[in-house]
Structure 1
Amino acid sequence: MPRDLDPRLLRAFVAVADELHFTRAAARLYVAQQALSRDIRRLERDLGAELFVRTTRQVTLTGDGERLLPYARVVLQAQDELLAAASGASRPLLVDLNTEGMASGRVLARARELAPDCELMARFQSGLTGAAAEIVAGRLDVSFGRLAGLEPAVRALLSHQPVRFEPMAVLLPQDHPLAGRERIPLNALAGETVYAGAGNPATREWTDLARRLFAGRGITIAPPAPVAIGFEEFRRVMAKTRTPVLAVVDFPAMPDTVLRPIVDPVPLSPVSMVWRKGIVHPGVDALRAAAADLAGQEGWLERDANAWLPEGDMSLMGDNN
């Protein structure tokens, strides 16, 4: 028997013992089922004991599995306490939201329900590019947005989890010629100048997505302008300039404007949850569980084959780590 056991193997053991189902346990641990099965076999070899009886219909604990399970729980609890003490996991977790009420805000609300003892504090950086720089610097913990819009060197420092393919929309003055339509075909925006955050260093990933969407379609991105800070200031500037704004379908309502989904094709904004690699905090676990729960319930990661999405974004959205 080895002198030391890998705690990861013990976590696999406890997860399968709790679920009595390898597929559910793998989803809980965010690993592939094959990897989980390998970990269980390795732990059984290390302990010299069979822990589970597996059939095509069910998974049950063996006598040795039942006897060793309480000890595994004690070891993992001690490890969690040690890591929490080292990482300051009792501190508030700083969570960046682009705007209240959107997908990221709903994930935060659900995470607060799942982990009521955690202090999950909202911050508003308004852009993943800006938030990612704060995360890498240690001044922020978690954010949401388009991962593919970040520089590869920055992405290498972050972990991520796909959250949603969010349909895009356009915010229009209520007397705009297109405002009377329930949906706006993308080609109907030809000849329009649309605001997409150009010049804002914190939202480069969004401006890049707009450029890719508008390329070859006769749609112009509004030139850089001073960034409006705060909802009321944004509303005031929009009322003054009367420039359509590229948004998403959950963008909050604003006076004197209408929000219309874009169609033919439906463009998607890929949203991931991102956090600093190596961070250990129960709030991160709660946010990940909340995001997976909402995505599963509401089909956030389902997409029509005819929807528009850059290829590079698709590959990253399928790459959990």
Structure 2
Amino acid sequence: MPGPGRTHVDPRLLRAFLAVAEELHFTRAAARLYVAQQALSRDVRRLERELGAELFVRTTRQVTLTAEGERLVPFARRVLQAQDDLVAAFGPARPLLVDLNSPGLVTGRRVLHRARELAPEQELMARFESGLTGAAVEIVAGRLDTSFGRYAGLEPVLRGQLEQQLVRYEPMAVVLPERHRLASLPEVPLDALAGESVYAGAGNPRTPEWTDLAHRLFEGRGIRVAAPAPLAVGDEEFQRIMAKSGNPVLAVVDFPAMPGTVLRPLIDPVPLSPVSLVWRKGLVHPGLDALRRSAVEIGQAEGWLQWPAGGWIPAMDMSMTSVDKRHIANTGPMPALDSST
């Protein structure tokens, strides 16, 4: 059945196909697999392209199997059963190494904790690599399995070896010294930072995706990205260096508290940090499945993929994370995009 020259079919695509074939309903199948409906539809279309066959007839009223789809069902069941038997025969999977960037960041930690509840028999081990670029190098080398961060900010050579699932549009904020001129404001309009030098990790080889996001956000607003500071290892050293420089720090709304500072959300526009779960292409692990289910579950409960009124994100991030516009249909106007790529 595979097309000419094809010798491998990703079991994940077969699992997506089988769920739809058994439910004959994309929404129910997505809920069963704990994935977004858009991601499920994308996987089914990819399988159809790889097999060179249409597997479903889709109308506004129903989904039915084609003759080729009917023919694939028993093959898919046998392949997936064989995979499950293989995993069971060799005992528990090895620990999954999950990078959370920094101990104080909330998004990845919440996804990890829920994943441990969903798959208590699996060992999901936390690691801390500072930034996604640094973690991505380790993932590609096989020394890490997954991480969280801004996927679109990675170099193309890294993105080509990774897969990702959008987890959250996290509102951004600024950390200000307590005596800063803007510290008394409950929210800081972005243009109020004009003339400031804001620290955004410049010079840190592990976090260029974050510095790039800052450059795109500040462009044309008279806000400078602060020059590289000495690379600080650990929260204590980071706080000391930031206190010494006195620069505001670009952060996210769940950034951990720092002594002598205040955290203020940014507005006008509301800049968003797109956080994806990122893993090595071809990785198959029940712990990864639990992480993906956890991200969908928490995202739906917390509205992590809903778009706030006045939201902003770089255009390249929007295209690479394949946002489903239905997430923003009832939460505000269409996203404000920058024009750079």
- Mark yes or no: TM-score above 0.5: yes
Question: Once superposed, what is the RMSD of the aligned Cα atoms?
Answer: 2.9
Instruction: Indicate yes or no: 2:341 matched with 1:315.
Output: no
The DSSP-based 3-state class of the residue aligned with 2:164 is: strand
Aligned 8 A contact 2:182 2:188 in 1 = yes
Aligned 8 A contact 1:9 1:43 in 2 = no
The DSSP-based 3-state class of the residue aligned with 2:165 is: strand
Aligned to 1:112: 116
Aligned 8 A contact 2:111 2:294 in 1 = yes
CA separation of 1:292 and 1:223: change in aligned 2, threshold 3 A: same
Aligned to 1:57: none
Aligned 8 A contact 2:271 2:312 in 1 = yes
CA separation of 1:257 and 1:21: change in aligned 2, threshold 3 A: same
Structure 2 residue ranges without an equivalent (≥5): 2-8, 48-53, 57-64, 325-341
Aligned 8 A contact 2:26 2:41 in 1 = no
Match among 84, 87, 96 for residue 99 of structure 2? 96
CA separation of 1:234 and 1:9: change in aligned 2, threshold 3 A: closer
Q: Structure 1 CA distance, aligned partners of 2:82 and 2:281?
A: 22
Match among 200, 206, 213 for residue 202 of structure 1? 206
Aligned 8 A contact 2:229 2:241 in 1 = no
Q: Structure 2 CA distance, aligned partners of 1:205 and 1:21?
A: 38
The DSSP-based 3-state class of the residue aligned with 2:308 is: coil
Match among 15, 23, 31 for residue 40 of structure 2? 31
> Which digits, 9 at most, give the CA deviation of each residue in 1:259-311, with x for residues without a partner?
00000111111111110000110011000111111111111111136322111
Instruction: Indicate yes or no: 2:274 matched with 1:265.
Output: no
Match among 76, 83, 94 for residue 80 of structure 2? 76
CA separation of 1:239 and 1:148: change in aligned 2, threshold 3 A: same
Q: Which amino acid aligns with 1:179?
A: A
The DSSP-based 3-state class of the residue aligned with 1:162 is: strand
Instruction: Indicate yes or no: 2:241 matched with 1:227.
Output: no
CA separation of 1:319 and 1:133: change in aligned 2, threshold 3 A: farther
Aligned 8 A contact 2:188 2:265 in 1 = yes
CA separation of 1:251 and 1:85: change in aligned 2, threshold 3 A: farther
Aligned to 2:128: 124
The DSSP-based 3-state class of the residue aligned with 2:220 is: coil
Q: Structure 2 CA distance, aligned partners of 1:85 and 1:232?
A: 47
Aligned 8 A contact 1:89 1:281 in 2 = no
CA separation of 1:231 and 1:84: change in aligned 2, threshold 3 A: farther
* Greater Rg by CA: 1
Question: TM-score when scaled to structure 2?
Answer: 0.78
Report sequence identity in percent: 65
Equivalence map 1:168-183=2 (5 Å): 168-183=172-187
Equivalence map 1:132-281=2 (5 Å): 132-281=136-285
Q: Which amino acid aligns with 1:90?
A: A
The DSSP-based 3-state class of the residue aligned with 1:32 is: helix
Per-residue deviation, 1:22? 3.6
Aligned to 1:64: none
Per-residue deviation, 1:82? 2.5
Instruction: Indicate yes or no: 2:70 matched with 1:44.
Output: yes
Q: Structure 1 CA distance, aligned partners of 2:283 and 2:175?
A: 37
Per-residue deviation, 1:228? 1.1
Q: Structure 2 CA distance, aligned partners of 1:311 and 1:43?
A: 37
Count of aligned residue pairs for this structure pair: 294
Which moved further from structure 2: 125-134 or 101-110? 101-110
Aligned 8 A contact 2:92 2:122 in 1 = no
CA separation of 1:20 and 1:45: change in aligned 2, threshold 3 A: closer
Per-residue deviation, 1:19? 5.5
Q: Structure 1 CA distance, aligned partners of 2:237 and 2:209?
A: 22
CA separation of 1:97 and 1:80: change in aligned 2, threshold 3 A: same
Per-residue deviation, 1:240? 2.0
Equivalence map 1:297-308=2 (5 Å): 297-304=301-308, 306-308=310-312
The DSSP-based 3-state class of the residue aligned with 1:31 is: helix
Question: TM-score when scaled to structure 1?
Answer: 0.82
Aligned to 1:285: 289
Q: Which amino acid aligns with 1:135?
A: I
Per-residue deviation, 1:38? 2.1
